[in-house]
Every structure is written in C-alpha cells, then in structure tokens.
Structure 1
Amino acid sequence: MVNVGIYLDLRNPAEWRQDWARLYGFTLELCEEADRLGVHSIWTTEHHGFDDGYLSQPLTMAAAIAARTKRARIGTGVTIAPLRHPAHLAEEAAIVDLVSGGRLELGIGTGYRLPEYELFDRADALRTRFSATDASAREIRRLWDTGTITPPPVQERPRIWLGYQGPQGARRAGLLGESLLTANPAMAAPYVDALREAGHDPASARMAGLVNGWITEDPERDWPVVSRHLAHQWDSYHRYAVEGTGAASARPIDPERWRARGLSAAPGHFLLATPEEAARDISAYVAGTPIETVWFFASLSGMSERAVREHVTTLMRLARLVA
C-alpha cells in the first residue's frame, strides 16, 4: 500500500503565461477538487527569483490550501530552513496545523542556489546549510515539545520531514529521529540504520517523495504536449541550479531518453504510464521500504487547466489502485 499526493510549484512561464491571480485561484480550486476526490496529500515547494514565478512562500500557500480543503494532508516539500529563523518556521507551521485541523506535514531542506541565499542576506550560510537545517529541525521540535511557541499546533507531535536525498542526508534524518523526504528506496537502509543507532524505534521510519512522471489514460496521445512542458521544466531547473556559480548550464534534456528510462529515483527518469501500469511499477518500486507516500507534479511548467484537471483526476484512479 502506498499513498498518492500532488505537488505544486505554480510555475507560470512566459511561453504559456496566464494571469497570476487566475493561476493561484485555479490552483486552490484544484486542491478542493483533489481533496473531494480523495487525494492523500498536497505538497508545496519553494524557490526564489525564477522568471516563471516559482512558488516562493510554501507555508503561506499551505495555509490557503488548508482553508479550502477538509481531509488531505498538507505538506511542504520543502521550505528552505536556513533562510528562516526556526521560531518563525515553528510558529508559521503551527498556524497551518491549526487552520487545517491537524493536517500539517512540515518538510524542511537546505536549498542549493546562491542567488536565493543572497536575496535573504544569507550567502555566508550556504556552506553550512546542512548543519543549519539539522539545527533548525532540532529547534522546531524543541519549541513545539516545550510549548514555547503559542498557539501550539493541533497535533501532539507534527512530523518534521528532512528533504535530504543522498545516503549522508538519510543518515542525518535517522539520527534526528525525524521522517525522510525522498522516495528513493536506496535511502531506506542508511536511514533505518541511523534511527536504530540513535536509539529511535526503527518502526518509526517514514519516507515520502516525488516521482517524476505523468499518469494518463492515453500516454501516446498526451506525450507530445507532456514532453514539451517536461523539457521546459527541467531545462530551467538546470539553468537556475548553476546561476551565480560560473558553471555552464547542462545540455537540454532529451525527453525521449527520460521516458525510456522509466521509473527510478535517479536523475533523468520519467514515468509516462496509465494508472494500471503505474500502480504495478510503483508498488514494486516501494515494496519492502518505509516509503508511505509518493507524489507527482500536478502540472508540468505551465500546462493548461484542462490538462492539469485531467491529470489529477487520473492520479486519483491510480491512488485507488495502490491503496
């Protein structure tokens, strides 16, 4: 059994630009519909300075989603911890938990872009971002556990998810006794080993994360459109990843090659599948691991409202198949 969620970045590229207020309004409508259809969770993300307006304040958006939904878990995947004081994160997250009636899943991570750290006058913190994120997790947990911040969250112990991708990061999350925000099965062993080493119950292990893909009733029909938006999304990711570093941008992706590689946690893979095909592949992929939730981008970089609505509806059929 695995849960299925949706992932929102609200990108609005110039090539498919729409009214900003409409984009946000439509996204909230989409969340309401996904909640009605039984989506397990809705996750927001964060970047700054993208020309397509990538979502910059995930907890603010999470609060709006909380007010428009009734059942779905609401997570950040991730909010960049070193750019904010832990008390700020603890308070803001508690408000989301209150507004949602106890549905918060707080995911924090390090970020990696120098321009974002510069924007917040934190360029000197980029080098120590992993230890700073660990420290933020510890402090948020302390602030909640001791009742230092008010009002407190609804949940007695809201989950903190660490957005770490490699084995060293998995170990960090385990040592902290928190949840691990990756859907890479290879990270299960170092994560669980670290939980055990630090005296935490290995049965408390929880993993969740992104599956890069698009679920459709007709893959061949949709691929020409999906591939175009996929290329824009990841080419711009790669361009922004090196901004400010002096390094050259990666070559444009080859969507056909990504599709041929199928489902994997490794970069450059893309699952284009029917719900039945995806259910088979995902169930096998997460078997024997603590991965409890996978999520998909609701939209790939500026897709039409019709395509996004159809995708979310189809994802909910996948959710029923893997439940």
Structure 2
Amino acid sequence: MIGLRFDMRLAPGQDVRGAYRAALDMVEWSEGSFAPFVTVSEHHAVADGYLTSPGTMVAAMAARTTSTYFMVTAAILPLYDPVRLAEEMAVIDHISGGRVGWVLGVGYRPEEYALLGVDFERRGRLADEHLDTLFDALAGRDLTPHGRPGSIGRAPEGRITLFWGGASRPAARRAARRGLGLFAQTNVDGLAQVYEQECAAAGIEPRGCVMPNPGAPMTVFVADDVDRAWDELGEPMLRDATAYAAWNPQSAARNASMSTSRSVEELRSEGASHRVVTVDGALDII
C-alpha cells in the first residue's frame, strides 16, 4: 500500500503552525498525484509534539479533499469518553462523506494514561466497556443502559470502518469477538490464524487483517539525489524509528516500523524500516 502518514513530530525551533499548514497542503496535493490513502496517528506526553488530536486533524484534511481515504492509526480508546468519541466520529463521517476509518487500541505507554488521569492497569477492561458504549452510540441507540441517558443525535449514515490495533493474541481475539478488523504493526506468526479461529468460534465473519511483513519499509522518501536526501532527512527518520523502538523494546526487532539503529549511517545501511530511494528504487519496492 502507498500512502502518506502524519504524526506532526518536530524538532525544537521548527515552525509548528507552518508544519500543520504544510501537512494540509500536502494532502490536498497528493489527491491528484499518487496517494490513495492518508494515515494520522495519536500519542500523548511526547516532548516533540506528537499529534494528540487525530480526529481534528483528519477532519481538516477531509475538508481539503474529495476522494482520499483516511485512517486514524490509532485512537487510544481508554483515554476517550466513548460517547464523545462517537459524536466526533459521526461529525467527521458527515464532513468526509464516509472517507475516514479508525483503528482503536489500548496503547502501551503509562505516561499517556498518567497525563490524562486514566488508570493504565485497567486499560483492557476500559477498552471493552468503551467498545460496548461506542457501538451503541454509533448506531444511534439510547445509551441509558450504559448510564448515559439519550443518544448522540445524528449518527453516521453508514457503518464506519473500525479496526482493533495490536500485535498480540489478546488483541486478535478482541478484534474477532467484537467484529472488528485486525490492524497490526507487523505480521506476527500465527496472529492471523488466531483472529480467524476466534471469528469462527464466535460465528462472526472476519473483517480482515492488515499486517505488513517485518522487512517491509514503512517510511520511504523518493529523491533524485539519495545522499542529499539522507543528509536532510536522516535525523528526523532516526528519531522516528528509535522512539518507537524505545517505547516497544520487546518487539522492536520484529516490528516493521522500528529500528534500534544508533546513527543515521546505521539506519541507512540497515535498508529496512526507513529508506530513501530513487524512482526506480521505489518501483522495485512496489
């Protein structure tokens, strides 16, 4: 798959407002050029300004386009009020004309839960409770059984595409039991089978699995002068790759988007998660 990904991380001193304007311009430009879809991500308590409000961002992007499909990857469900999230999803669905899908997950960083005042140890239970409420809210049902009298009003016109994110067996089982697709950062052995078996046991039609191979590049820039591009982009790519690896030390070696490289030179020589290639090199990857 080819697409654009935005997390809005910036080095100190960079123009924040300019970066957000540029992101919107890039998405608008890409619609007539090459990108069939765009993803935006969410994290909190990150010093480099990682995007904290993916819904707001994707709504702005959708308003600048007419056919591009968007995915929020991923919204950390226990950190949201599920009714408020359903309202936000519904409004974005109306703005975009049904062009936004969502990956939901529990996250993995205690710092995020601490910042937002949510108990990290209860994240699994909260996820299940929130899914119950979210599903009923998106369907326009009365939420009194959840202790929330009323409904969200203008529910989405159709079914919003929802995935459950995670590369563990519990994540695969939760996705299957809830009738969601499974979205994993890498193709873990047996994960798709666990998902399909759980779907069969629950009598639910599988919604599909998105699992890139561990060797697949997840961040690729195309340039005529590869050396010059590495000089310009190497440090931001290294920060991106190693930050995720530091957050996920137990899975960095098998995750398609991470690297334990300690320098730009090492990241480049790895030729794995983060690459700069020529046009011909890009065609080879595709």
Alpha carbons of structure 1 residues 262 and 174: separation in structure 2 relative to 1, 3 Å: farther
| Percent identical | 27
Structure 1 counterpart of 2:63: 67
Whether the 8 Å contact between 2:106 and 2:123 is mirrored in structure 1 is: yes
Q: 2:105 aligns with which of 94, 109, 112?
A: 109
Q: Is the 8 Å Cα contact of residues 48 and 55 (structure 1) preserved in structure 2? A: yes
Matched, 1:143 2:137: yes
The equivalent position to 1:13 in structure 2, one of 11, 14, 32, is 11
Structure 2 CA distance for aligned equivalents of residues 25 and 146 of structure 1: 34
Q: How does 1:18-167 map to 2 (within 5 A)?
A: 18-122=14-118, 125-147=119-141, 148-154=151-157, 156-167=158-169
Spell out, residue by residue over 1:23-62, the C-alpha distance to the aligned partner (whole angstroms, 9 max, x if none). 1111111111112224222111112232221111111111
* TM-score normalised over the length of structure 2: 0.79
1:4 equivalent among 2, 5, 22:
2
Change (3 A) 1:257 1:12: closer
1:174 aligns to what?
A: 176
Q: Is the 8 A contact 2:140 2:155 kept in 1?
A: no
Q: Taking structure 1 as reference, are residues 182 and 273 closer, same or farther at Cα in structure 2, changes over 3 Å only? A: farther
Give the CA deviation at 1:234.
3.2
Query: Following the alignment from structure 2 to structure 1, what is the Cα–Cα distance between the partners of residues 56 and 38?
Result: 14
- Could you say which residue in structure 2 is the equivalent of 1:199? 203
Q: 1:220 to 1:20 in 2, by over 3 A?
A: closer
Partner SS state of residue 2, structure 2: strand
SS in 2 for 1:82: helix
Which stretch of the first structure deviates more once superposed, 73-82 or 38-47?
38-47
Cα RMSD for the two superposed structures: 2.8
Query: CA offsets per residue over residues 263-307 of structure 1, 9 Å max, x none?
Result: 5xxxxx4455455555555xxxxxxxxxxxxxxxxxxxxxxxxxx
Q: Is the 8 A contact 2:73 2:104 kept in 1?
A: yes
More helix by share: 1
Any stretches of 5+ residues in structure 1 without a counterpart?
Answer: 243-249, 264-268, 282-317, 319-323
Does structure 2 retain, via aligned residues, the 8 Å contact 1:38–1:72?
Answer: no
- Is the alpha carbon distance of 1:161 and 1:127 closer, same or farther for their aligned partners in structure 2, counting shifts above 3 Å? same
Residue 133 of structure 1 aligns to a residue in which SS? Answer: helix
Match of 2:262 in 1: 253
Partner amino acid, structure 1, of 2:128: D
1:213 aligned to which of 211, 219, 222: 219
Counterpart CA distance in 1 for 2:279 and 2:124 is 37
Residue matched to 1:294: none
